[in-house]
Structure 1
Amino acid sequence: MFVVNRFVILVLTFLGLSLFPGNQTLTPLNCFIQRRACIKSWMHYDVLSYIAIADKGYVASTARQTAFFPLYPTLLRLPGHLLGGSIGDYYIAGLLISNLCFFFALIVLQLLISDLFDESTARKSLFYVAFAPYALFYFAGYTESLFLFLCLMTFFFLSRAQKDNSVLSWWLAGLSGLLTALSRSQGLLLMLPFFVVYVQHFFFTYRFAETSWRQKILAFCPLALIPLGLGIYMFYLWKAFHDPFLFSSAQHLYWGRLPLTSPLTTFRYVIKACFIPSPLQILNILNLISVLIPLGTLLIGWRRIPLHYNLFALVLIIFATLYPLGTDNALTSVPRFMTVVFPVTIIFASIKWPRFDHAYLALTLPIFALNVFLFVNHYWVA
């Protein structure tokens, strides 16, 4: 699946660059002649910020980049340096890291779903994830692949902890959560599924009587590792910039995001913008749909997956609405954030109805191809 998906993306990249003019250009590229431009066709938007952090670190003159968490650019540093240390080398390193993380994410996802359902559902889930409308961000030098992989690793070790009752599995789940929180602030939300699984495992089964309080405490302590990931980054910001909350204030000061906002208020902004004729009208409609579909899927199909999967998906969706990007395009980037809400994809894949599969793919595959065309030509996608 991984190889097929990457081959399709490369073909779409070639076709998109060869057939359509890029943003602010008059003619398409000839990838046989303009090879460098075609190779760098994925170096846009947030990719540039991660490259800058990997190259120079966080510096006072670019405090705006503290909004990007440190794990991903840290992972780029060594391979980027080994490749030569240029901007282009860090860009290639980013593509390698993102695709490697996505490869392992697919493996872990298959293990999880095979355990929950069966092999056919697992294979279908992989296809749905790889060809989701905004799955191009699993290829680009963004954090989506890393975040997805680490979230899945947390769920994998929680599953192992439920089966083998091993303290080590609980600690590995906590460590995975720590790394997730170092890659994105949403990683902190993994505390919820960890706590739910812990309570279900020790207090709602026969194990309450069969396990000692020492075992219960040792299994609970790794929960603290998850917020520790965020704490490590905040400590660094305090030492470097004397502001442990700079990552949050940078979102407001430099990127235009509003302070903590009620989801209802955010939805009111978006719905209002959907009815105002403007260049952002279509984007607002797409952004709203990208939130409503996962919410509706959880509401209808929550019985198909375990409780901690449902709750994690729900808080990920809600979190994406808490910091709107102004009032004119409040849910900017949210379709990309929804891509990593893997429990929703599992619900889709668990539906044993061929007509649903055909309808789902008929809708998602063209959007996936269109988004690749847009992104490589430097148009905003999400």
Structure 2
Amino acid sequence: MGKIFLLFIGWRGFLLVTLSFAIGILPLQMNFLGGGLSNYLKHPYLWAWINFDGEHYLSIARQGYQPLTFFYFPLYPFLIRFLANIFGQDFVNLAISGLVISNLSFLIGIIGLAKLIRLDYSEKIVKLAILILLFFPTSFYFGSYYTESIFFASVIWSFYFARKGRWFWAGFLGGLSSLTRIIGLAIFPALLVEFFIVSDPARRFLKLRLSKFLPAFYLLMIPLGLSFYMFYLKRETGDPLEFFHSVSIFGEQRVPGFVLLPQVFYRYVFKVLPNIDYSYFPVVFTTWMETITAVSFGGLGLLGILGGFVLRLHSGSMRRIRIPKIRLSYVTYLVIGYLIPTLSGSFSSMPRYVLVLFPAYIIMAMFLSRVPKIAANLIFFLLIISLFIVTSLFTRGYWVS
């Protein structure tokens, strides 16, 4: 755990150094600064991490839900308000409380990730997966005023407790995840797969005893978290799906219906990418980052499916492919967690949404463990450069994801 803590401190230090450079080299965009322009200019090392959606979570924590904010799920702002009660609910304490929750949750999450990966893989895979996660281009969101950290921690530990057969805690933490983000629903089918298929299926299906299946009922707490929020929305707005129907407030890039993944790819290839303003670097960089992320994680999902369903390839030609082996429950979470954000018809924010899809980092770590060291170093170099660019843009008020 000491090494993980040092990696966390190093990552946090890198982000602060990046912000220092960004303050000196990037002009400030003032439209979506956390805390407003005056607060940002006085204390940029605090308020730079509360830009964009962070403003909404801060507002909810401060004064409750207002019109057009129901898209943001309640657990994170509730915890912020709870912690701020200890020190006082002024503006600064609410800001600090949220950042403390985010950073502490991320540390707890990566500790859990290491423990989870060690159940199946070597220490080398553990190290590579954590490094990929820390240097992923949008990893700064884990240290920002966003839900990524608390969601990540609840998902990781939910899977870990499921692997250990402690189904109450798996269901409870899964319920917290669905009270944090809609993607939390992806954990429900994934842990059902873990319970009924992966975890000693012969014993469960050949010895049909009710007591063997009772722990599965704990998993019903996962959709229950979302149900609580839907009940609140029904009472306050009359629409239990207000969080879904209000997606149109984010502009034409998202629609309040369901759009299939091939349609989204078609839209990007033939409409979005050819028509962006290629003279404006932030838009070009973020749009291509969205597209590359969607393609890359879609490919990782397909590899995960192969690795989950085809664990042993015996033919001579297939044996040499060496498809990474990964648990079917992990693959279920990866694929569903990837698909849910695309249903809005856009890859907008995709580089942030995929941050919490931990099976992808395991697959990437297995591949990096097999490539020449110079290739692995090049990939990490590109990740670090991308993290530097994206963090710089975000902290200076440029939208990135």
Per the TM superposition, whether the score is higher than 0.5 is yes
Map of 1:268 onto structure 2: 266
Aligned pairs for 1:185-264 within 5 A: 185-201=182-198, 204-209=201-206, 213-253=209-249, 257-258=254-255, 259-264=257-262
In 2, the alpha carbon distance for the partners of 1:7 and 1:215 equals 50
Match of 1:339 among 355, 365, 369: 355
Match of 1:45 among 44, 52, 56: 52
- Aligned residue for 2:258, secondary structure, equals coil
Map of 1:30 onto structure 2: none
Return closer, same or farther for 1:77/1:283 CA change in 2, 3 Å cut-off: same
Return closer, same or farther for 1:358/1:73 CA change in 2, 3 Å cut-off: same
Match of 2:366 among 311, 334, 350: 350
Shift of 1:267: 1.4
Shift of 1:306: 0.9
Shift of 1:96: 0.5
- Aligned residue for 2:400, secondary structure, equals coil
Structure 1 contact 201–207 (Cα < 8 Å) conserved: no
In 1, the alpha carbon distance for the partners of 2:44 and 2:289 equals 30
In 1, the alpha carbon distance for the partners of 2:62 and 2:297 equals 37
Return closer, same or farther for 1:247/1:24 CA change in 2, 3 Å cut-off: closer
Which stretch has the larger CA shift, 170-179 or 193-202? Answer: 193-202
TM-score, normalised relative to structure 1: 0.88
Shift of 1:101: 0.4
Shift of 1:84: 2.9
AA partner of residue 264 (structure 2): T
AA partner of residue 64 (structure 1): L
Map of 1:29 onto structure 2: none
Shift of 1:39: 2.8
Shift of 1:120: 2.1
Q: For residues 300-340 of structure 1, what are the alpha-carbon distances to aligned partners after superposition, in whole Å with 9 as ceiling and x for unaligned?
A: 4634211111121111111121013xxxxx32111111121
Aligned pairs for 1:140-155 within 5 A: 140-155=144-159
2:373 aligned with 1:359, yes or no?
no
Map of 1:293 onto structure 2: 296
Map of 1:10 onto structure 2: 16
2:34 aligned with 1:23, yes or no?
no
In 2, the alpha carbon distance for the partners of 1:253 and 1:112 equals 38
In 1, the alpha carbon distance for the partners of 2:93 and 2:291 equals 37
2:343 aligned with 1:322, yes or no?
yes
Return closer, same or farther for 1:34/1:333 CA change in 2, 3 Å cut-off: closer
- Aligned residue for 2:244, secondary structure, equals helix
| Identity value in percent | 27
> How well do the aligned residues superpose, as a CA RMSD in angstroms?
2.1
AA partner of residue 350 (structure 1): M
Which stretch has the larger CA shift, 136-145 or 212-221? Answer: 212-221
Which stretch has the larger CA shift, 174-183 or 285-294? Answer: 285-294
- Aligned residue for 2:259, secondary structure, equals coil
In 1, the alpha carbon distance for the partners of 2:361 and 2:200 equals 30
Return closer, same or farther for 1:248/1:34 CA change in 2, 3 Å cut-off: closer
Map of 1:175 onto structure 2: 172
In 1, the alpha carbon distance for the partners of 2:352 and 2:200 equals 37
Aligned length: 359
In 1, the alpha carbon distance for the partners of 2:23 and 2:190 equals 42
Structure 1 contact 64–254 (Cα < 8 Å) conserved: no
Structure 1 contact 304–350 (Cα < 8 Å) conserved: no
Structure 2 contact 16–45 (Cα < 8 Å) conserved: no
In 1, the alpha carbon distance for the partners of 2:120 and 2:290 equals 31
Return closer, same or farther for 1:19/1:253 CA change in 2, 3 Å cut-off: closer
Shift of 1:123: 1.8
Q: For residues 15-73 of structure 1, what are the alpha-carbon distances to aligned partners after superposition, in whole Å with 9 as ceiling and x for unaligned?
A: 21133322269xxxxxxx96524432222100010011111111xxx321110000000
4+ residue runs of structure 1 moved beyond 4 angstroms? 253-256, 279-282
TM-score, normalised relative to structure 2: 0.84
Structure 2 contact 204–212 (Cα < 8 Å) conserved: no
In 1, the alpha carbon distance for the partners of 2:93 and 2:15 equals 21
Match of 2:131 among 104, 127, 130: 127
In 2, the alpha carbon distance for the partners of 1:71 and 1:89 equals 18
AA partner of residue 14 (structure 2): V
